A and B are shown apart, each in its own frame.
Chain A
Amino acid sequence: MHKVWVIVRKEWSEVFKNKLVLFTVAFMPLMFTALPLIMLAVTAPSESMSGLSSSDMPASFGAICGGMSESACAQYWLVSQFLILYMLMPLMIPVTIASYSIVGEKSTRTLEPVLATPVKTWELLTGKALAASLPAVLVTWLGFFAFALGATILATSPEVVARFLDPLWLTAIFVLGPELSIAAVSVAVLISSRVSDPRVAEQLSALVMLPLLAVFFGQVTGFFFLNETLILWMALIMIVIDAGLLFFATQLFQRERILTRWS
């Protein structure tokens, strides 16, 4: 594992000198933390919720609220949309870093000297995957901690805060988030080791966000709502998907093809 961490440290030393990447890593968590808190602040006094009634929410959401007051339920409904965005964060942030990880090294001609060292393919790919996903997962968690802290102050009732700290949210943030991050990074590494243009790699890698965006729109439109069972199933399925993606990424990473066929 030593070489994995050597690669991670090198990637961080290099990547975080790029102000654009730093901005990408910092901006999204700041925005996704500030927005729900602003929403909580705006909707905190129950009077301000007067314009929003249960009829404005998808009919099926009422059942999820259980015994919550109408205003608390409305507030929870509004802010619960951000759960998907918290899951999107560890998926979006590392894609840029990861998609450049192989193609970028090839285009700057640093990949051949790296491959000439006694490094195993899994060490190289794991190092690159961790270097991209760890910062994304950490800032997501930090953002969520900040959000949870702000929510205890700004939420209409403790019941709403309790909902943000229930197994649904905690599983989504602390289990599914990292799993999604690993999947996104694996896809990005996989794509970036098969194409020769960093821009193509980044654009193709961004497609990995589509399934989660579908979940987001499905929830916004009331087609379905994330619940504990669904999140648990997603977490279990993602373990299998991650394992498969990591396996394929390692199998499809062909040193010879990368060295000889890219212009």
Chain B
Amino acid sequence: MIHARGLTKQFGDLVAVDRLSLDVESGEVFGFLGPNGAGKTTTIRMLTGLIAPSAGRATVAGYDVTKEGYELRKRVGILTESPGLYDRLSAAKNLSFFAEMSEVEDVSGKVERYLRMLGLWDRRNDEAGAFSKGMRQKLAIARALLHEPQVLFLDEPTSGLDPEAAHLVREFIAGLKAEGRTIFLCTHNLNEADRLCDRIAVFNSSLVAVDRPAALRTQLYDRIVVFHLREVERHFERVVREHPGVSSVETMDAKLVVRMDEPERINPELIRALVEAGADLQFVGEVRHSLEDVYLHLIGDKGDSPEEKAGDADA
């Protein structure tokens, strides 16, 4: 659905986007993560035909972003970083205007549908300027959806929202994902990306990494399993260390912190071995590196150490 090859944007001497190549499949929710000023918004603007690339090419929904911007804009929806609503117009008039501009056939029907879907129907005649941040963001998302775009670009959809409003918006995006929409999601909220995205790209002017969140974790970090014991005896560590597939083992308080390749295969054998060695196992749990760790690792900061992680792990 989105195919970019060597997409580059230069403003004078500043290279905002450097040779970006990526593919986003139909129905995929693709997270685009990067620090402030990384070029995420510039990338969205290029992919939606708002600005022209300095080099490279891209197609979105089958349309060339440089040559077919007009047709492209009929097929993409964009939630800009700021909701950008007409404060003096009512919610319904805001949507009606954009529906007509986007050549929607059943304007009033579509406006009603999305206002109801987002819980704003009762406030349809209120001026957008009187809305809370969360309501404004929902209205802006509705605006991006009115013409049933093939690809939806969301630029920081929960930025600046309180937790409740952010949760509502996130739920709505999850609903769109369930409908099979193709979504290109720029966000700073790594938990949000982890939860919503099928794949993520870490981007800092150029592409740093792109994969499924779980795959990125595996690529970057060993898998760590923590065995909580009633009491740790010295020979338990040896039993574990000698097991094939175990990379390392450390004892921390009453826990054995074990790095290994395939916990799914090795864990049952290790549990059995530990029990046979006389260990009283209380819990077994895997330490999961957060997407934040992955992100920080890729961007430059290495994130929390495994030891810190294991120390924090409850199970």
**A residues whose Cβ falls under 8 Å from a Cβ of B:** 2-3, 6-7, 10, 13-14, 17-18, 108-120, 255-256, 259-260
0/1 string, B31-64, CB within 8 A of A gives 1: 0000000000010010010111000000000000
The answer to whether B84 touches A112 (Cβ under 8 A) is yes
The answer to whether B100 touches A13 (Cβ under 8 A) is no
The answer to whether B74 touches A116 (Cβ under 8 A) is no
The answer to whether B88 touches A17 (Cβ under 8 A) is yes
Chain A residues lying within 8 Å of B140, measured Cβ to Cβ, are 113
Chain B residues lying within 8 Å of A115, measured Cβ to Cβ, are 50
> In the complex, what's the smallest C-beta–C-beta distance from B39 to chain A, in angstroms?
12
A259: contacting residue among B45, B70, B73, B103, CB under 8 A: B45
Q: A110-B84, A110-B86, A255-B50 are in contact. List 11 more A-B contacts (CB 8 A).
A: A10-B97, A13-B89, A13-B93, A108-B87, A111-B84, A112-B84, A116-B50, A118-B70, A118-B103, A119-B101, A256-B51
Interface residues of B in 50-107 (CB under 8 A from A): 50-52, 70-71, 73-74, 76, 78, 80, 82-89, 93, 97-98, 100-103
Smallest CB-CB separation from A256: which chain B residue?
Answer: B51
> In the complex, what's the smallest C-beta–C-beta distance from A42 to chain B, in angstroms?
42
Rounded to whole angstroms, the CA-CA distance of A114 and B100 in the bound complex is: 11
A260: contacting residue among B51, B80, B82, B85, CB under 8 A: B51
Chain B residues lying within 8 Å of A108, measured Cβ to Cβ, are 84, 86-87
> In the complex, what's the smallest C-beta–C-beta distance from B46 to chain A, in angstroms?
10
> In the complex, what's the smallest C-beta–C-beta distance from A16 to chain B, in angstroms?
9
> In the complex, what's the smallest C-beta–C-beta distance from B98 to chain A, in angstroms?
6
Chain A residues lying within 8 Å of B11, measured Cβ to Cβ, are 260
> In the complex, what's the smallest C-beta–C-beta distance from B47 to chain A, in angstroms?
11
The answer to whether B50 touches A109 (Cβ under 8 A) is no
Q: List the 5 shortest-distance A-B pairs measured between CB atoms, nearest first.
A: A117-B101, A109-B82, A109-B84, A256-B51, A6-B100
The answer to whether A113 touches B70 (Cβ under 8 A) is no
> In the complex, what's the smallest C-beta–C-beta distance from B281 to chain A, in angstroms?
57
Chain B residues lying within 8 Å of A118, measured Cβ to Cβ, are 70-71, 73-74, 101-103
> In the complex, what's the smallest C-beta–C-beta distance from A7 to chain B, in angstroms?
8
The answer to whether B88 touches A112 (Cβ under 8 A) is no
The answer to whether B51 touches A18 (Cβ under 8 A) is no
The majority secondary structure among interface residues of chain A is helix
B143 at the interface (CB under 8 A from A): yes
Can you list 19 A-B pairs with a CB-CB distance of less than 8 A?
A2-B100, A3-B100, A3-B101, A6-B100, A108-B84, A112-B80, A113-B78, A113-B140, A114-B101, A116-B50, A117-B73, A118-B71, A118-B74, A119-B101, A256-B51, A259-B50, A259-B51, A260-B45, A260-B51
Rounded to whole angstroms, the CA-CA distance of A71 and B45 in the bound complex is: 68
Chain A residues lying within 8 Å of B74, measured Cβ to Cβ, are 118
> In the complex, what's the smallest C-beta–C-beta distance from A215 to chain B, in angstroms?
37
The answer to whether B86 touches A10 (Cβ under 8 A) is yes
Chain A residues lying within 8 Å of B42, measured Cβ to Cβ, are 260
0/1 string, B211-243, CB within 8 A of A gives 1: 000000000000000000000000000000000
Query: Known contacts A113-B78, A259-B45; is A14 also within 8 Å of B88 by CB?
Result: yes
Chain B residues lying within 8 Å of A260, measured Cβ to Cβ, are 11, 42, 45, 51
Query: Known contacts A3-B101, A109-B82, A118-B73; is A18 also within 8 Å of B88 by CB?
Result: yes
Chain A residues lying within 8 Å of B45, measured Cβ to Cβ, are 259-260
Rounded to whole angstroms, the CA-CA distance of A194 and B238 in the bound complex is: 74
Chain A residues lying within 8 Å of B103, measured Cβ to Cβ, are 118
Q: Residue among B73, B76, B80 with the most chain A CB within 10 A? A: B80
> In the complex, what's the smallest C-beta–C-beta distance from A151 to chain B, in angstroms?
39
Q: Residue among A3, A116, A260 with the most chain B CB within 10 A? A: A116
The answer to whether B98 touches A113 (Cβ under 8 A) is yes
Rounded to whole angstroms, the CA-CA distance of A115 and B73 in the bound complex is: 9
Chain B residues lying within 8 Å of A255, measured Cβ to Cβ, are 50-51
The answer to whether B102 touches A113 (Cβ under 8 A) is no
A112: contacting residue among B50, B52, B97, B100, CB under 8 A: B50
